[in-house]
A and B are shown apart, each in its own frame.
Chain A
């Protein structure tokens, strides 16, 4: 019987992609485009699952599962890599990014709002102890992890929608019913032809005894 492929390896690979890209400073800014790295990680996991399933088509539910698993892996990677990085240099990067935004924005009112956020970020960075920042970061990491799993799940479903081309294939043929006198694990074989030799009399069964095989 054809076995379904294991989802763990595709999930790990997809999770590695989304976790690492979401942890590297500046590279992770692409996630402001609707978590593009996260969705991409889910799609990569779905694509890998499809490649590892040469016989059976991958269903949308399987794509969702592998996407969700990739999201979990990615969230754990951001916990291990991204959280320490953000604790060490996160404020500097945030302030630098906001200053860049303030430079490119044309609207004076918007610029004033961004400057207020910069000042608030600096004030909070100075006031909070490392313990408070760690607790806060863990809390916000958890919120981010839930969002990551959700978006990666959607990415997995979209990956199946885009890459799985076997949607309308007929189901694999059912194995023959027991009683064919065949070794197990050989579905789809024709019943053996009668042995050569003289034909038995009409009142005797063709295979030398017993009931004829039933379908």
Chain B
């Protein structure tokens, strides 16, 4: 999602709403609040009050003081709370805003959406910090990757492959009907099922099979870990050979929002990604990284070559650089078969200022566990010492 696009976006009352609540949606839309809810929704459903004030400053044409923007925020939130679109809670002394179901429905377009923002889930995992970090990256960089991109990109690539096959008279004899069926699915799991139910000897899909078995499943795992795919890949070209078979040269940008994960986690992520991409069926990674570094392309078009790179967003502290370095291990030491064609770039996102002043986001799971272990040892020694003598 890009912030600029929200300025002129039109919002309508979502489908399937209880009729008696239509006026509430109309009020939210007519007052211009919908774009703010949409921005919060795109980032995970939560934002800090100060972040919302910064967003108002971005959208507001008239120049005001900070107090002026804060007043606008207060007025907006009072109305949204009254209409049942948001809930306001506190983290220590900092206010944060959570979207309620009507706000989610407004952004989603349908009241019967399965998507929810659950307070319990927010704090059980790192969804809260992830949402705050995403929102901040939206403010700082003007865009944020959305979960829709994750599989939309694969559908788009499949569509382009089908188009190329048809333009060239399907010399290779691909099962184009099956590719059509894949493109007609609305859920990526259905697309994966179609491909898995038709083994290679029964159905000729070529690189499309690798897309919907290997890449799609890896994307699913990434998505479940909170990672996203940037809208524009680093490199994409679809090539047709003289015999009609199609090859794919593709380098997605995997977007990771750093929250409380320790270095160990990112070391494991690096292994997971390099093994996953290296293991994609029909993927030839030999010399790919060097080819990309020297010429900006992935080499010989006769083979399919699928690599990746990473864009890491996180709080501006020394840990971020170390985490980016851990994620680039494959790039630096993966050898000539490295599927990582460009090292991880890191983008600093200052969320510390929105959290309690006595807390910094250098804290993470690893540090929390380390603190607790040390504390336990100290307490056990002291308490045990009381009983020992």
* Pairing of A with B: no
